[in-house]
Amino acid sequence: MAGKLMRAIQYFGYGVGVAGLKHVEILVPDPKADEVLVKVEAASLNPADWKIQKGMLRPFLPSKFPTIPGTDLAGEVVRVGTGVTKFKAGDKVVAVLKHSTGGALAEYAVAKESLTVGRPSEVSAADAASLPIAGLTAHGALTLVAGIKLDERDENKNKNILVTAGSGGVGHYAVQLAKLGNMHVTATCGARNLEFVKNLGADEVLDYQTPDGAALRSPSGKKYDFVIHCASGIPWSTFEPNLSPKGKVIDLAPGPSALWTFAVKKLTFSKKQLVPYILIPKAENLEYLVKLVQEGKLKTVIDSRHPLSKGEDAWAKIMDGHATGKIIVEP
């Protein structure tokens, strides 16, 4: 595909938000060793995408300007680099790209073979593209940090978990995965999404704008063994009285105050802990999630779909922070 042009969205510096996005035509990238070139059928956005553009992770991310944002995509392999053995042209795949390079908001993208998995015909491109960052974050928080074995249902039946922002991208997967593991799930969300989160499987749902919801009090008086914290702006003092004696808050977007609480709790040997979690994607876990979707055990809820030509609308929506499920961009 040497010399062929593709449509893409780029930004050229930090800040500016939607106004900083530019539609461009650039050369289709060549896959290097151990990479695959994918014709993108769907990409999904995550809060990290706009936070990187805003400069919240400068000077580390992105690695260079201009940059094509987006890390989560599904599509069809059109070419493979040297050394690639798992995939060939024509294979349907889902992949997660590195935040440092991005690349998903384009007609074509290169992905590492090691972070690409096959996509069965039963799983749509949009459903698959929604999984990488959001699904893997929910899965990792539950299995790696909380230590939950999702297939040992009897062992988990007396464990109580709270998921904040249970209707969001990560939250809606966390609620489902926790129920798959047979835990008692309480979740918070806005009033308009109470029924939606119940239908995901939550045992109890709190409207975060009510007094009990703001205080995170379980309607049945349960104390939480784990909190998957997908929201922001909730202080440790609100979590602490609602935790079981060895309760653990797993913070998925830790800020300075969360890191300070983490350090203090460690240094004082507190049994109640706040643990920051930063995802390191692994293909085998993505494969596991794709299989759950294929089997009908996990569902992706799509908030909205946008053509690449109107990617700004998707960007504005992810910045707003009130999406129900995932936001999809389709070339």
What phi-psi label fits residue 16: left (phi over 0), alpha (psi between -120 and 50 degrees) or beta? left
**Same structural domain, 31 and 163:** no
**Same structural domain, 166 and 65:** no
Question: 125 in a domain, yes or no?
Answer: yes
Global confidence as pTM: 0.95
**Same structural domain, 84 and 176:** no
Question: 294 in a domain, yes or no?
Answer: no
**Same structural domain, 154 and 256:** yes
Q: How confident is the model at residue 69 (pLDDT cuts 50, 70, 90)?
A: very high
* pLDDT score of 270 more than 90: no
Number of domain units in the chain = 2
Rounded mean pLDDT, 223-228: 98
* pLDDT score of 267 more than 80: no
* pLDDT score of 268 more than 90: no
Question: 287 in a domain, yes or no?
Answer: no
Domain range for 268: 135-276
Question: Tokens standing for 63?
Answer: 């690695």
Q: What angle do CA 79, 82, 84 make, to 5 degrees?
A: 75
**Local structure of 273: helix, strand or coil:** strand
Residue 95 is predicted with a pLDDT of 98
Q: Which CATH number goes with the domain that contains 306?
A: 3.90.180.10
Least Cα distance to 175 among 201, 195, 147, 204 occurs for 201
Q: How far apart are CA 201 and CA 218, in angstroms?
A: 16
Q: Which CATH number goes with the domain that contains 202?
A: 3.40.50.720
Residue 59 is predicted with a pLDDT of 80
Question: Tokens standing for 18?
Answer: 């939607």
**Same structural domain, 25 and 88:** yes
Query: DSSP letters along 247-269, please?
Result: EEEEESS--HHHHHHHHHHHHTT
Summarised one tens digit per residue, pLDDT across range 96-136 is 999 999 999 999 999 999 999 999 999 999 999 999 999 99
* pLDDT score of 2 more than 70: no
**Same structural domain, 51 and 181:** no
